[in-house]
Homo-oligomer: A and B are copies of this chain.
Amino acid sequence: MAEKMVAAITSMDEDFAQWYTDIVKKAELIDYSSVKGCMILRPYGYAIWENIQSILDSKFKATGHENVYMPMFIPESLLNKEKDHVEGFAPEVAWVTHGGKEPLTERLCVRPTSETLFCEHYANIIKSYRDLPKLYNQWCSVVRWEKTTRPFLRSREFLWQEGHTMHASAEEAIAETKQMLDIYASFHENELAMPVVKGVKTPSDKFAGAEDTYCIEALMHDGKALQAATSHYFGDGFAKAFDIKYTDKTNKVSYPFQTSWGCTTRMIGGLIMTHGDDNGLVLPPAIAPIQVVIIPVAQHKEGVLEKAREIADTLSKRFRVKVDDRDQSPGWKYAEYEMKGVPLRLEIGPRDIESNQCVLVSRLDRAKTFASLDGIADTVAERLEAVRQGLYDKALANREKRTYRCATMDEIKSELAAKGDGFVKAMWCGDEACEDKVKEVCGVGSRCIPHDQEQISDTCVCCGKPAKHMVLWAIAY
Contacts and interface: CB of A to CB of B under 8 A. Distances in A.
Interface of A: 31, 33-35, 38-43, 46-47, 49-50, 66-75, 78, 90-101, 108, 110, 117, 120-121, 124-125, 136, 140-141, 143, 145, 156-157, 159
Given A40-B68, A66-B43, A66-B47, A35 B100 contact: no
- Of all A-B residue pairs in the complex, the 6 with the closest CB atoms, nearest first, are A38-B71, A99-B145, A43-B66, A41-B69, A95-B98, A35-B71
A124 B141 CA distance: 24
A396 to B, nearest CB: 32
B96 A67 contact: no
B33 A120 contact: yes
Contact of A35 (B43, B108, B125): B108
A195 B450 CA distance: 59
A33 B121 contact: yes
A202 to B, nearest CB: 25
Contacts of A75: 34-35
Given A31-B124, A117-B33, A95 B94 contact: no
Contacts of A42: 68
B121 A40 contact: yes
Contact of A67 (B39, B46, B66, B78): B46
Contact of A73 (B38, B49, B67, B98): B38
9 contacts: A33-B121, A38-B73, A40-B70, A47-B67, A72-B143, A93-B100, A94-B99, A95-B99, A99-B156
A260 to B, nearest CB: 16
Contacts of A124: 31
Contacts of A98: 94-95, 97
A121 B31 contact: yes
A40 B71 contact: yes
A272 B237 CA distance: 39
Contacts of A90: 100
Contacts of A41: 68-69
B101 A70 contact: no
